[in-house]
Homo-oligomer: A and B are copies of this chain.
Amino acid sequence: MSEPSEGGMKSGRLEAFTDGVVAIIITIMVLELKVPSDGTLAALSQSLPILLAYVLSFVNVGLYWNVHHHLMQATGRIDGKVLWANLFLLFWLSLAPFVIRWLDESHFAPMATAAYGVVMGLAAVGYQLTERAIIACNGQDSALARAIGSDMKGKVSLALYLIAVPAAFFARPVAFALYVAVLLLWLAPDRRIERALRD
């Protein structure tokens, strides 16, 4: 379990499995969307908020796939801890379709709005656990460890989710604005890893 070649093979299958789960999550969310009640423009506009929530989640999950891609590309070896940290991340992402449906059926109730933040926040924790497990497996001096550094973006994201969840009960627009803010923070590709790899 300690040979680099073996670790490499495992990393390949971990990526394939993660790709599979993320591909399914991103696709089945659409099954949760209720179609407009009839064929009028008014009915379509009533569906607009949930369609926007779908876009938000699609970009969010797509983003995790994207950063996961960058992370794995920089990884030499993985171990059992990485597998479980990754599964923890996938668990929370898998709840995204559930939260989307809840938002839709409860007409964006505060509880459901907060649940979106809890689920996405714990997915962010899962991503950081995966990152830490990979560093622990590859060594503190590895290129990856130096590339990730203090991971300021990850810490800021968690802080924003921590503010957004209680805000959902008092000021829902603030919560959604914070959810969008986290996305914008991550939409730029992770220059730290790219830069360190290039050097």
A47 CB to nearest chain B CB (Å): 9
Out of B6, B20, B29, B40, which one reaches A111, CB within 8 Å? B40
Within 8 A of B (CB), among A94-147: 94-95, 97-98, 101-102, 105-106, 109-112, 115
Please, how many residues of chain A have a CB less than 8 angstroms from a CB on the other chain?
62
A137 CB to nearest chain B CB (Å): 13
Mask for A75-99, Cβ within 8 A of B = 1, else 0? 0000010011001001100110110
> Bound state CA distance, A25 and B58, in angstroms?
14
Out of B27, B39, B198, which one reaches A106, CB within 8 Å? B39
Give this chain's copy count: 4
Contacts of A98 in B (CB 8 A): 30, 33, 35
Q: At the interface, yes or no: A41 with Cβ under 8 Å from chain B?
A: yes
A interface, CB within 8 angstroms of B: 1-2, 6, 9-10, 13, 15-17, 19-33, 35-36, 38-41, 43-44, 55, 58, 62, 65-66, 69, 73, 80, 83-84, 87, 90-91, 94-95, 97-98, 101-102, 105-106, 109-112, 115, 189, 194, 197-198
